[in-house]
Amino acid sequence: MSPQTLQLVLPVAIIAVVFLLRARRVGKPQPLKLGLLWLRPALLLLACAAILFLPPRPGAAPLVLTPQDWVVLAFAALAGAIGGWQLGRTMAIEVYPEDGTLMVTTSPVGLLVLAALVISRTVARSEAGLAGANWPLNPTVIVDALIVFTAAMFTVRSVEMYLRAKKVMGERG
């Protein structure tokens, strides 16, 4: 198998396995640990900041963003926040009366959004390599915008779920 083929097939195979594992849990109630709800967004925001502000490799200069690039990233963050709020609203949160455990049932919408993001990022990366000089926008910024969108989406989704879970617990007791 050629390196170019392997470079395409390996990520697709890994993503397929991850989606299959996640798809098994869609629609089934899972325990919701409020104390750990901040962890995923914190890690995503840290990774997003590292991607945006650290050099791509040791010794290289960090990417210098133009005002136009910042507008694109701000729009991506806003769109991600709106999408995250809506995504969080699609998840059913309830308290099991037997033991008071918070349970969340994920929606298949979340899995579809993730699949769309992965496909968009893959297409943007491959198209950027083919037509990079002809794009009105830096192709790297397009990929970075997808990363910012994802980080904002999952952060706001967690905030929405936290607020709703606190409300559900307050109604119970």
What is the predicted pLDDT for the residue at 85? 94
- What DSSP assignment string belongs to 13-46? HHHHHHHHHHHHHTTSEEE--GGGTTHHHHHHHH
Q: Say if 24 falls within a structural domain.
A: no
Which is more confident, 125 or 114? Answer: 114
Least reliable range by pLDDT among 1-5, 26-30, 34-38: 1-5
How would you list the strands of the sheet with 92-95, edge to edge? Answer: 29-31, 102-105, 92-95
| Total count of domains within the chain | 1
Q: Which domain holds residue 136?
A: 29-172
Asked which of 28-42, 102-116, 142-156 is least confident by mean pLDDT, the reply is 102-116
Do the domain assignments include residue 62?
yes
Q: Residue range 49-78: average pLDDT?
A: 85
Lowest model confidence (mean pLDDT) among 10-24, 117-131, 143-157 = 117-131
- Pair 69, 141: CB distance under 8 Å: yes
